[in-house]
Amino acid sequence: MNDFLDETDFDSKPVPVKSLLAGSVYYPAAGRDGDPVRFLGQRFQSFVYVDYGIRRDDVLQSLNDPHQGFRGYQVTCVRDLKPEDLVPHGWQPSITPDEVQRAKAPPTWWIKQPFAIWALLDRRDEFGDEHGPGRFSLLYIGGDGVATYQALYHGNKVAPAVVCIIQPGTGFGGNWTNFCDPEGILARSVMKNPAGSPGHLLYDGWGSREDYRQPCWPKYGQLTEEYARGIEGGLCLFQ
């Protein structure tokens, strides 16, 4: 078993931060969307969700509500984390002066109190192996998707396996930068990580029915899998 999935002394043991992050699925502007776990859970067991527009208590409520949380899963362990648990050696942000100004643009009412929680979720008994992993790890951070990426992955010298860009909230959604922009600060943060870039991009075309099969970042030019989402169109996994 991966060490981050071991619940022994969960509340007191040092956070296995590098194991949590290396090869994880990173999802900025995540909200309460369970689709990355739904579609990628057979292959990955560590998910990192980030959103500065959601409250800690709302996340916990969703995780403990079988109708709002991850279908077929229940929380086994949950723990509040401090910044030093996740970035023990600190980090040096990389952002241009213009981006510093734009990062201050989201209205204060949109940005909620920062938090970080780490949870282990187990598959309910009535669901079989075909539904997903028996257990997965969820690190949920109430914070900015760009700064959190730099802090977590650059700061710990690791890289995720997948980055998800799904309805990232540009414009009226409260996001200060465009995650889809291949020249934008999120793409630069991902591609210029000294530890390497993710092998995959999970993308939804940002609401465009005709374009969701075209990756927003040209590095990921090969479509490997496609997942149907009903009236919301589809998700595509690129490498």
pLDDT higher than 70, residue 97: no
Q: What residues make up the domain containing 99?
A: 3-238
Count of domains observed in the chain: 1
User: Strand 223-228's sheet: what is its strand order?
Assistant: 73-80, 115-123, 135-142, 46-50, 25-28, 162-165, 200-203, 234-238, 223-228
Model confidence over 107-160: pLDDT tens digits? 666 789 999 999 999 999 999 988 889 999 999 999 999 999 999 999 999 999
pLDDT higher than 90, residue 17: yes
Specify the pLDDT at position 181: 92
Specify the pLDDT at position 169: 77
Model confidence over 175-232: pLDDT tens digits? 778 899 999 999 999 999 999 999 999 998 755 545 667 899 999 999 999 998 766 6
Nearest to 16 by CA among 67, 121, 98, 88: 88
How far, in Å, are 104, 107, 169, 182, 217 from residue 98 at the CA level? 10, 18, 20, 17, 22
